[in-house]
Amino acid sequence: MLAQQYAAIKRDLDDKGIVFSFSGYLSEGILYSLGEALREKLTLEDADGPTVRRVFSVFVEQMQNIIRYSAEKVRGRPGGTVELSAGMVTIGMEGGKVFIVCGNTVRNDDVARLRDRLDHLKSLDRDGIKTYYREQLREEPDSGSRGATLGLIEIARRASEPIDYDFDPMDTDRSFFCLKVRV
């Protein structure tokens, strides 16, 4: 029964082309380890340096978005640097392309602002994204954002197709946010 249950989960992941999947508390340490594993896997598949870096770049920005903005976090001692944020990250292959899906809880109050940012990014063509990146590179970060805007632009820039996103309302305070990027 035990093996059957987990084999079913694994089969489901395999069928979706998922190479790595992590769900739970994410930290910078986990980002580093998963990132190393991801690069090794891509290198073994003979991806060239720039391709590996493009995938890696999207991965890092997505993971750091969860670590910084997940609405579900535990912090260690006050003033400590350990930050554990709940979320999930899934990396797989689909039609010869790598995809990265990240999911985390967000506060409903933040949904409209995040949606605006993502819709704006989706509306831009390659040159528009480039111009937007140049502007934001020279902007002071807005309070509370910790550089999120530039991170999202970086993601859109490395994507080979328009980014996909969605929100699933959980309760009156929170929604589950998902972002899928094909590189």
* Site of interaction with other proteins (CB under 8 A): 28-29, 31-32, 36, 39, 42-43, 47-50, 52-54, 56-57, 60-61, 64, 81, 130, 133-134, 137-138, 141, 146-147, 150-151, 153-154, 157-158
Residue 76, classed as helix, strand or coil, is coil
Give the residue with the Cβ less far from other proteins, 109 or 142: 142
Give the residue with the Cβ less far from other proteins, 50 or 144: 50
Minimum Å gap between C-beta 171 and other proteins is: 31
Contact 81, 7 (CB under 8 A): no
Strands 18-26 vs 83-94: parallel, antiparallel or unpaired: antiparallel
Contacts of 141 (CB under 8 A, 6+ apart): 147, 149
Element containing residue 116 per DSSP (H, E): helix 108-123
Give the residue with the Cβ less far from other proteins, 15 or 140: 140
Minimum Å gap between C-beta 138 and other proteins is: 7
